[in-house]
Amino acid sequence: MYSIETAMSFNKCCNIENRGVEYDERFDRWTGNTPFKTSIVKIEDEITMLGPTEENPKPDYINACFIASPIDGIPKELIGTQCPTKVTLSSFWRMIFAFNVIGIGMLCDPDHEKVCFDYFDHKHYIDRVGKNDNFKIDIIGEPTFIDEPMNKVKKTVFEVTHEFGEKPYKKHVVEHLRYIKWPDRSVPQTVEEQDSLAKMVWRLVELNAEKGIDGPITTHCYLGLGRSGTT
């Protein structure tokens, strides 16, 4: 598990005193939580190349920060971000594709879609964003728990298909780990709950090595600050 210094560094990167972008209520959940300009994640893909549109005025923007590894100092080993809403879900999946993320750690529970869209627990859905930009998500196999018998960390494997205009579809497989019932502004209380969290963290760390992938690990809670930074 990462240190308290990592959490403090992460919180600083998204602090209002250090922010590098202006707050926008469509994409940012809280006025004090916008990314620092030196650590902001910028999406570069086909949609970014089209430039700003009325439908998507900030095609390269997502409320997310890169975090350096506290273990070996790799500058972009982690991404911390907000829980996707219906409005920001397309940007979230575009980020996952753009940075070849294969492991997502979810540290909050779903709420109504304005706070945290239920993007992770459907057998099949299509997120239609604009006229030419669709994401089709299928669940591979059955969800399982990686920490039995505690059953706090639920693993689901997604196959995500990005459909963009007339271009060939892109497919990406992502392992999604959800820590269930972590209260906001708190920590896992018991040794067993903390052990479950440790298993989740190490699974995310091991995943890239197992698959031979060099993409960053991505975690999110509601705001992408406390629980994301702690983990």
Q: Phi first, then psi: what are they for 17, rounded to 5°?
A: -70, -20
Q: List all residues 6 or more positions away from 1 whose beta carbon is below 8 Å from its beta carbon.
A: 197, 198, 201, 231
Alpha-carbon distance of 188 to 165, in angstroms, equals: 44
Tokens for 188, please give them.
């896992």
Instruction: List, in order, residues 6 or more apart from 200 with CB less than 8 Å away.
Output: 105, 146, 147, 153, 177, 179, 231
**pLDDT value at position 71?**
66
* pLDDT, position 101: 94
- Domain residue limits, the chain: 4-230
pTM of the model: 0.82
Per-residue pLDDT at 6 = 47
In whole angstroms, what is the distance from residue 36 CA to residue 64 CA? 9
Ordered per-residue pLDDT tens for the chain, 231 residues: 444 444 444 454 444 455 556 777 788 877 777 788 888 899 988 888 888 887 778 888 988 988 877 666 666 778 999 888 878 888 899 999 999 999 999 988 776 555 677 777 655 555 555 445 578 888 888 899 999 999 999 999 988 888 777 776 788 999 999 988 877 667 778 889 889 989 998 999 899 888 888 888 899 887 656 666 666
Please tell me the CATH code under which domain 4-230 is placed: 3.90.190.10
